[in-house]
Structure 1
Amino acid sequence: MDEKMTALNSKQQRTVLKRLLVYTRPHLKPILFAFFLLALTTLGDVLGPILIKIFIDDYLTLGHFPFEPLLILGSAYMGIQILNVFVSYFQLYKFQEVALKIIQQLRVDVFSKVQSLGLRFFDRTPAGSIVSRVTNDTEAIKDMFVFVIATFIQSGFLLVGILTAMFILNAKLALFCLVVMPLIFIIMVIYRRLSSKFYLDMRERLSQLNAKLSESLQGMSIIQVFRQEKRLREEFGDINEKHYQAGMRNIKADGLLLRPAIDLVYIVALIIVLSYFGISSFENPVEIGVLYAFINYLDRFFEPVNQIMQRLSMYQQAIVAASRVFRLLDEEDVAPKQPLVNENKVKEGKIEVRDLSFSYDGKRDVLKNIEFTAYPGQTVALVGHTGSGKSSIINLLMRFYEFDRGEIVIDGVSIKDFPIHELRERMGLVLQDPFLFYGTVKDNIRLHNQDITDEEVEAAAKFVQADAFISKLEDGLEHQVVERGSTFSSGQRQLIAFARTIAMNPKVLILDEATANIDTETEEAIQTALAKMRKGRTTIAIAHRLSTIQDADLILVLHQGEIVERGTHQELLALKGLYHKMYLLQNGSVEGLENAVI
Structure 2
Amino acid sequence: MAHCGSFDALHQTLQASIRWAIVAAALLASVNVALPWLLQEFMDRYLTHQTATTQIVLGFAGLYAFGTILKALFQFFQSFLFAMGSERGLEDVRRDLFAQLHKLGMRYFDQTPAGSIVSRVTNDTATLSDFWNVLLSVLVGLFSVVSSFVTMYVVNAKIALMVLAFLPLLLFAIWYYSHYSSKVYRHMREKLSELNTKLNESIEGIGIIQQFRQENRIAQEFETTNQEYLRTRTAMIRVNSLLLSPIINLLYSFALVAVLAAFGIMSMHAFVAAGVVYAFTTYVSNFFNPMTNMMDSLSNFQDGVVAGSRIFRILDNQEFAPAANPGASATLTHGKIEFRHVSFAYDGKHEILHDISFVANPGETVALVGHTGSGKSSIINVMMRFYEFGQGEILIDDVDIREYPMAELRAKLGLVLQDSFMFYGTVASNIRLFNEQISDDQIKKAAEFVQADRFIEQLPGQYDAKVIEGGAQFSSGERQLISFARTVVTNPKILVLDEATANIDTETEAVIQEGLKRIRQGRTTIAIAHRLSTIKDANLILVLDAGHIVERGTHDELLAKHGRYYDMYRLQTGMSD
* Superposition TM-score, scaled by structure 2 size: 0.97
Shift of 1:515: 0.3
Note the 1:425-504 alignment, pairs <5 A: 425-504=411-490
Note the 1:158-557 alignment, pairs <5 A: 158-339=144-325, 341-557=327-543
Identity of aligned residues (%): 48
Task: Note closer, same or farther for the CA distance 1:21–1:118 as it changes in structure 2 (3 Å cut).
Answer: closer
| Cα deviation 1:336-385 (Å, max 9, x = unaligned) | 12146432000000000000111112332111111100011110000000
Ranges in structure 2 where 5+ consecutive residues have no aligned partner: none
Determine whether 1:79 maps to 2:70: no
Conservation of the 8 A alpha-carbon contact between 1:129 and 1:208: yes
Conservation of the 8 A alpha-carbon contact between 2:6 and 2:96: no
Distance in 1 (alpha carbons) for counterparts of 2:139 and 2:454: 65
Shift of 1:25: 2.2
| Cα deviation 1:297-329 (Å, max 9, x = unaligned) | 112222111111111101111111011001111
Q: Which residue of 2 aligns with 1:63?
A: 50
Q: Which residue of 1 aligns with 2:558?
A: 572
Distance in 2 (alpha carbons) for counterparts of 1:581 and 1:65: 112
- Look up the SS of the partner of 1:504 in the other structure: coil
Task: Note closer, same or farther for the CA distance 1:199–1:18 as it changes in structure 2 (3 Å cut).
Answer: farther
Mean alpha-carbon deviation: is it higher for 169-178 or for 424-433? 169-178
Aligned amino acid, residue 362 of structure 2: P
Q: Which residue of 1 aligns with 2:118?
A: 131
Choose which of 102, 106, 119 in structure 1 pairs with 2:89.
Answer: 102
Conservation of the 8 A alpha-carbon contact between 2:14 and 2:86: no
Determine whether 1:40 maps to 2:30: no
Task: Note closer, same or farther for the CA distance 1:169–1:22 as it changes in structure 2 (3 Å cut).
Answer: farther
Aligned amino acid, residue 102 of structure 1: G
Distance in 2 (alpha carbons) for counterparts of 1:341 and 1:16: 25
Determine whether 1:89 maps to 2:87: no
- Look up the SS of the partner of 1:484 in the other structure: helix
Distance in 1 (alpha carbons) for counterparts of 2:9 and 2:557: 65
- Look up the SS of the partner of 1:370 in the other structure: strand
Aligned amino acid, residue 41 of structure 1: L
Shift of 1:87: 2.8
Shift of 1:155: 1.8
- Look up the SS of the partner of 2:166 in the other structure: helix
Distance in 2 (alpha carbons) for counterparts of 1:381 and 1:122: 28
Conservation of the 8 A alpha-carbon contact between 1:357 and 1:369: yes
Shift of 1:19: 7.4
Distance in 1 (alpha carbons) for counterparts of 2:142 and 2:292: 12
Aligned amino acid, residue 109 of structure 1: D
Task: Note closer, same or farther for the CA distance 1:225–1:267 as it changes in structure 2 (3 Å cut).
Answer: same
Aligned amino acid, residue 193 of structure 1: H
| Cα deviation 1:113-164 (Å, max 9, x = unaligned) | 001100000000000000000000001011223x322222112221122112
Shift of 1:77: 1.0
Determine whether 1:50 maps to 2:37: yes
Aligned amino acid, residue 92 of structure 1: S
Conservation of the 8 A alpha-carbon contact between 1:17 and 1:319: no
Shift of 1:68: 3.6
Distance in 1 (alpha carbons) for counterparts of 2:458 and 2:326: 44
* Superposition TM-score, scaled by structure 1 size: 0.94
Aligned amino acid, residue 536 of structure 2: Q
| Cα deviation 1:17-49 (Å, max 9, x = unaligned) | 997586122342232122212222221111111
Distance in 2 (alpha carbons) for counterparts of 1:51 and 1:316: 39
Aligned amino acid, residue 572 of structure 1: L
Aligned amino acid, residue 543 of structure 1: A
Conservation of the 8 A alpha-carbon contact between 1:359 and 1:365: yes
Distance in 2 (alpha carbons) for counterparts of 1:376 and 1:247: 62
Conservation of the 8 A alpha-carbon contact between 1:339 and 1:420: no
Aligned amino acid, residue 112 of structure 2: T
Task: Note closer, same or farther for the CA distance 1:46–1:16 as it changes in structure 2 (3 Å cut).
Answer: farther
- Look up the SS of the partner of 1:28 in the other structure: helix
Distance in 2 (alpha carbons) for counterparts of 1:486 and 1:242: 35
Conservation of the 8 A alpha-carbon contact between 1:159 and 1:304: yes
Conservation of the 8 A alpha-carbon contact between 1:53 and 1:289: yes
Distance in 2 (alpha carbons) for counterparts of 1:359 and 1:466: 38
